[in-house]
Structure 1
Amino acid sequence: MRRRRGDPEAEVSEEIVEKGDIYFAYRPRIEEDKAEDLGDIQRFYMVMKPERQARLRVAVLGRKRLPEARDHERIWGFIEAIKSGPAVEDEFREHHYATRTRGERTLPPVRPAGEGVYALIKRGRNLHLSYELELPRRPGEVQEELNIERQAAYILSIKNPEAGSPPGAGLSEREEAHYPKPVERQFRGRRFASEDPHLLDYEGAEFILIGARVDPERAYGVDIETEHETARNADIFRQLKMSPREHPIGPLIKGEWQ
């Protein structure tokens, strides 16, 4: 138990409910050889791999960056896929497809932009996502524009698909998560739930990230153990099966746009 800051009598419980590896990556727009700023990005990915699990959660963030922790900014996202490493690489590599009006089009390969470790912390009634970077060792312009801090934390709330969305917002009914009835009951009729991270283990699961902390280790008293990573032993290539030959690594190693 920890005492709530500013109130010595009140206490709030904290429990780490999940730990693992976290990766950030982006894909430039169609037919773009490289990205030079946020406007050149088609999608921004956040991938979570829980400890002792083979599955990976591939999430897409709507504003193509992480929320501002200091401003308690809210950013919507969704789980695009639950896959193994080889299946993630199949999705992240370069793709070619034909169109009727423009001929063959090229979807460039995804670029890795960050690697680290994370913890999901149940704090009171909220679920917090806290992470710390291992790569790049010195964040650069890519991390600054994508708002990938050295360490940060967010309140993570998972949307009840039965609650509906405003017109033009969120995923369609066909795309959103379809939870089994026993899992769906965890929402208890609420619009959002934040107790069980396994609600994220379904494709189409929608969530809101709310900026919470820029110094989570101090705020939660949680020490997330990082490791010394280099381009040669980076987990993003081992676990996601991404080949450095096919995916430009400048953003991950030097923080430079590619």
Structure 2
Amino acid sequence: MADVQRYYMVMKPEKQPRLRVAVLGRKRLPEARNHERIWGFIEAIETGLDVEEEFRTHRCATRTRGERTLPPVRPACEGIYALIRRDRNLHLTYELELPERPGEVQEELNIEREAAYILSIKNPDAGSPPGAGLPEREEARYPKPLEKEFRGRRFASEDPHLFDYEGAEFILIGARADPERAYAVDIETEHETARSAYIFRQLKMAPREHPIGPLIRGEWR
């Protein structure tokens, strides 16, 4: 865990080419049973090839340590998700397909076999406490029709399209550990393998570049 620098959550809406690349403020998912809250933001709205380019090995220059090499992103899980509206709340629920048996990686990153969270999307005009949130220049810029969804509130959670803009900030709140029973929805998962995994077929992540131990066996290597 000490080597984990960023926790990405990548979501692909059904029958659409775009990908939502989200970054969470902690190196794990929130506790569903304890209704824990974790801040995050949409870093990019991309295609699979663009995401793969960003997730590869990178070299960068630093002021104090010279040139550094950042290793490639490691996929930790794959699954099916759904966004569900309930009253005034937008719920994100998922069920894992890989790994078949969650291991130490999923345990440390708090990735349950299935869980659900409430998504509250921040109004960029509401401001943030000092030292919290994104700088103003990096916050989402919504078109006027979508700005009305906030209706002067600090957060909105009714319209999932608010989630489709770079710089969109959100709070992910643990809600349920048994989403299928709680929401009466049937998330249809498929049997996936290293050969058929969506991460490699659609996100274009090359297995030779990204260690697959966490994804397939639940092991760090």
How far apart are 1:185 and its partner, in Å?
1.2
Quote the Cα distance in structure 2 between the aligned partners of 1:103 and 1:47. 31
Question: Aligned pair 1:247/2:205, yes or no?
Answer: no
Matched, 1:93 2:56: yes
Is 1:118 the counterpart of 2:51 in the alignment? no
Per-residue deviation at 1:100?
4.7
SS in 2 for 1:217: helix
SS of equivalent residue, structure 1 residue 40: coil
| 2:168 counterpart (197, 205, 223) | 205
Q: 2:157 aligns with which of 164, 181, 194?
A: 194
1:75 corresponds to 2:38: yes
After TM superposition, give the deviation of residue 178 of structure 1 in Å. 1.0
Aligned to 2:183: 220
1:57-115 Cα deviation digits (max 9, x unpaired)? 00000011100001000000000000000000010000112335433210110000000
Q: Deviations over 1:34-63 (max 9, x none)?
A: xxx2x2210001110000100000000001
* Equivalent in the alignment of 2:13: 50
Unaligned runs of 5+ in 2: none
Higher strand share: 1
Amino acid at match of 2:15: R
Cα-to-partner distance string for 1:97-146 (whole Å, 9 max, x where unaligned): 23354332101100000000001000111110000000000000100011
User: What residue is the counterpart of 1:169 in the other structure?
Assistant: 132
Aligned 1:148-187 pairs, distance under 5 A: 148-187=111-150
Equivalent-residue separation in structure 2 for 1:170 and 1:150 (angstroms): 29
Which amino acid in the other structure matches residue 188 of structure 1?
R
Give RMSD over aligned pairs: 0.9
Q: Distance in 1 between matches of 2:105 and 2:181?
A: 26
Question: CA offsets, 1:162-208, max 9 Å, x none?
Answer: 00110000001011111112211111111111111110110000000
- Secondary structure of the corresponding residue to residue 81 of structure 1: strand
**Structure 1 unaligned regions, length at least 5:** 1-36
Q: Percent identity?
A: 84
Number of paired residues?
221
